[in-house]
A and B are shown apart, each in its own frame.
Chain A
Amino acid sequence: MAGLRERVFETVLPNGLKVILLEDHKAPLVTFQVWYRVGSRNEAWGKTGLSHMLEHMMFKGTKKIGPEAFSKIIQENGGNDNAFTSNDYTAYYENLSADRVRVAIDLEADRMQNLSLREEDFRTERMVVMEERRLRTEDNPQSVLIEQIMATAFQTQPYHWPVIGWMEDIARFTLEDLKAHYKTYYNPINAFLVVVGDFNKEELLSKIVEAFGSQAKGVAPDQKRDTDPPQIGERRISVKKEAQLPFLLLGYHVPNLREQDSYALEVIATILSGGKSSRLYLSLVREKRLVLTADADQSLVSRDPSLFTLSAELLPGKEVAEVEKAFDQEIERLQRERVGEKELEKAVNQLEASFIFGQDSIFNQAILLARYEIALSWKTLDDYLPFIRKVTPEDIQRVAKKYLIPENRTVGILIPLPSKEGKPLPPGGDTKGDAVR
């Protein structure tokens, strides 16, 4: 199949709005997405979670339509809509029949500029966001640990705070905060559209130009943020909370796709935890019988450098120290031994296959294009497999020695407390988590 550079059409409207279009005629459907370059990284201390709060408010109506009318209109057109916020972006989408795309275009164009931010709606919706935080974080011990790891690993970089924000900050927001955030970041110059599906690009583009073309460009916001200086020693934290099983998470500072080393880390994550023939599965799950699950992961497409993580949920009665030792042994093995040709080929095959499987959904294709665009450029997506194939056993060894070292990591342990019912216990996430509307 031809590369995306040949198949994707990109243009930038005079007002700075970038439009990324990919025709896919498999089914008479379209995914229409608006991505704003604003997330928790663009927030200030004391007002964390403001981007996510604004995402919720984007459904509360404009001068043209009332509160909650947005989703009603989309659903009456047989479509689904929603939105999600991360550290780096806020994204809105409509999945619907190809002949209804105009509905999505007009509604999204309207709320890019004409949002009504009303005090009453805000007060109620803030309660909803607080419920969301209770649901996702407060009552989920592993989420609390992840939040604490991020707050420890990142000291100056805005990845320090959670996307949904600290509860105290959510309580502190004002309508004026939201208005200012909206004015600064919701402009054509700070947004782009991604549309994938069954359309003709010339026809679609003219509809887009009609709806978005006349909007004022806005001022490009300053997107530079501090990143943390190199870590100078291991950091350790623990979370004590009512829970069943201990959970261990190690986070190492690593670069994102702007640096070639990130592709070697991608291969390392696959060697460690891609499938049930992977090293962590064979060692921690099968041989040593220490854990229920073990995982290695990283965020290749974060806008600022993020973490490479090793995590494990322990089997009842097993010691965290044993699991940590087993993780260390696997890291040392990567640093000491050259990965065999066949094992490397297997990892590459896995990454290639999941890349192809992932293209089956137009929604996923659009999200992938957009996330690369946020991190660097959607065009980089074409480099993904070639760069993965270029990774050598020497790269893996070198990169493991460079980043996967104790001085560069934060270790977090969830220590389960017995449930307050007093029932005796029997013997014995994800750092990029998006907050969804």
Chain B
Amino acid sequence: MTLAFLLFCLCLQPKVVSAMPPVQRTVLPNQLILLFSQESSLPFVTIQLLIDSGSRRDPSGEEGLSYLTARGLLLGTSRRTVTAIHEELDFMGASLSSSSNRDYATLSLQVLKKDLEKGWDLFMDVLTQPTFPEEEIKREVEKTLAAIQSAEDQPDQVAEKEFQRTLFPHNPYGHPVDGTKESLPRMTREAMVRFYRTYYHPNNAILTVVGDISADEVKTKLLPSLAKWPKAAIPEISFKPSFAEEEKTLKIDRGITQANIIIGQIGVSRDNPDYYALTVMNYILGGGGFTSRLVEEIRNKRGLAYSVASFFDPGKYPGSFQIVLQTKNSSAREAITLSLQEMERIQKELVSEKELEGAKKYLIGSFPMRLNTQGKLVSFLTQVEYYGLGLDYPEKYPSLIRSVTREEVLRVAKKYLHPRNHILVIVANLKESGME
């Protein structure tokens, strides 16, 4: 009996368990959280530092400050000019990059094992001794403005920006992470230094180390410099998760052949207990690759779109739910109607047993593929820690998904989807779309 039971368990779960290499979690005296996992099949190391300083902390009028501060780390230090940093990195063939999103900023390094010490020295230098040179900041602002202008040529990005702005009018999630045409020219060195001094501290950070490096090497090569990084008080900012609740339609006219459409509304935060039921529901509706209902109705049956998908975009605070598609201008109305019908259908009828099982099998079975490179593992571990999912998350995940029922899918569809109260953004040739 016991043996049979054991075998049964093994058959169901071994892949998921073995997919996750052992991870060590340590909290250093300066309260930096350190995650470490050794994987020595290839001679390189991947390191990611997360700082809880995303664009939701941008002060009003200084949109883009989080992003520019993160980028600013690499613009020069007390020991190195920006050119010296680039030269040193390229000579190792290493990559060191920094960025931010609405929740957090990251600094990421990928370096050959033989260059680990040099790479690490550079990593700690840009993290703890950045000087934010005035001239370099001006260049970075100029570049960011040009990139924003260039993105105007991508209708999907134009639609996305308009959607976020409309959904979150008085909410720090509403402005673009890289700032706006209005805010960027006002950006100063002083603001960046202030933002850096406020948030870039070990007690506000998570460091994840993955690859060809032993626990002993972490101790002797990485810890000494990390220990010298002093902690400091982090101010709490209040976050009002407000969002637009009324139905709205935004139309942007362009001389293009396709209507780029977003139908969306408020979604959930990552810690919402309904997250797993929503994951299953959304897989069936429009998240399930080539097998979702939206793909079936809009692409497979009618040939109206090359890509159509839906997703929840959960953050520390509630993000959006979106259906995104592109179709020739003249089919815009039909595609919108079909999308709304599918939202309504999943709210009215139980999904089939087959659909439910298909979704669960995919979500559970494909989990190991989310961890199978150093780059993927490093960001997975960092996010598991940041969103408080627990290092046993890969082991818990199958049962979290398996426990979702058809009734629960129906319940969360009713609770979280609002087909009659959505925001519609359309970037298209409005005349051809019949949307003028």
Contact = CB atoms under 8 A, between A and B. Distances in A.
Contact of A244 (B94, B112, B152, B362): B152
A426 B302 CA distance: 41
Contacts of B19: 27-28
A77 B361 contact: yes
Contacts of A346: 90-91
Contacts of B307: 135
Nearest to A425: B149
B306 A132 contact: yes
B374 A360 contact: yes
A289 B258 CA distance: 34
B326 A131 contact: yes
B25 interface: no
Contact of A131 (B18, B112, B305): B305
Contacts of B18: 28
Contact of B93 (A123, A242, A350): A350
Interface in A117-152: 123-132, 134-135, 138-142
A80 B86 CA distance: 37
Interface string B264-304: 00000000000000000000000011110000100111111
Nearest to A416: B153
B90 A278 contact: yes
A356 interface: yes
Given A26-B41, A75-B289, A139-B258, A97 B86 contact: no
Contacts of B301: 124
A173 to B, nearest CB: 14
A124 B90 contact: no
B366 A78 contact: yes
Interface in A378-433: 419-421, 426
Contacts of B154: 140
B258 A134 contact: yes
Contacts of B258: 131, 134-135, 138-139
Interface stretch (A39-47, A174-182, A269-277): A269-277
Interface of B: 14-15, 18-19, 39, 41-44, 83, 86-87, 89-94, 110, 112, 139, 142-143, 146-147, 149-150, 152-155, 253-258, 288-291, 296, 299-307, 326-328, 357-358, 361-362, 364-369, 371-375
Given A26-B39, A349-B93, A127 B257 contact: no
B300 A124 contact: yes
23 contacts: A59-B290, A68-B291, A72-B358, A78-B367, A79-B365, A96-B366, A123-B303, A124-B301, A125-B303, A127-B304, A140-B153, A243-B153, A245-B150, A277-B83, A278-B90, A313-B150, A356-B44, A360-B374, A360-B375, A419-B254, A420-B253, A420-B255, A421-B253
A427 B275 CA distance: 46
Across the A-B interface, the 4 shortest Cβ-Cβ residue pairs: A78-B365, A353-B93, A127-B303, A275-B90
Contact of B306 (A78, A97, A131, A313): A131
Given A292-B143, A419-B255, A97 B368 contact: yes
Contacts of B371: 27
Interface string A341-383: 0000110011111101101111000000000000000000000
A75 B303 contact: no
B97 to A, nearest CB: 10
B43 A356 contact: yes
Nearest to B151: A244
A362 B87 CA distance: 31
A99 B15 contact: yes
A258 B305 CA distance: 40
B324 to A, nearest CB: 12
Contacts of B373: 360-361
B366 A134 contact: no
B431 to A, nearest CB: 10
Contacts of A243: 153
A75 to B, nearest CB: 5
A170 interface: no
A67 interface: yes
Contact of B362 (A78, A135, A359, A419): A78
Nearest to A315: B146
A213 interface: no
A202 interface: no
Contacts of B327: 131
Of B19, B139, B257, B371, which is in contact with the most chain A CB atoms at under 10 Å from its CB? B257
A95 interface: yes
Nearest to A352: B93
B42 A420 contact: no
Contact of A353 (B94, B257, B290, B365): B94
A254 to B, nearest CB: 24
A421 B372 CA distance: 47
Contacts of A315: 142, 146
A346 B289 CA distance: 42
B304 A77 contact: no
Given A78-B364, A274-B90, A27 B372 contact: yes
A325 to B, nearest CB: 20
Nearest to B40: A26
A138 B204 CA distance: 46
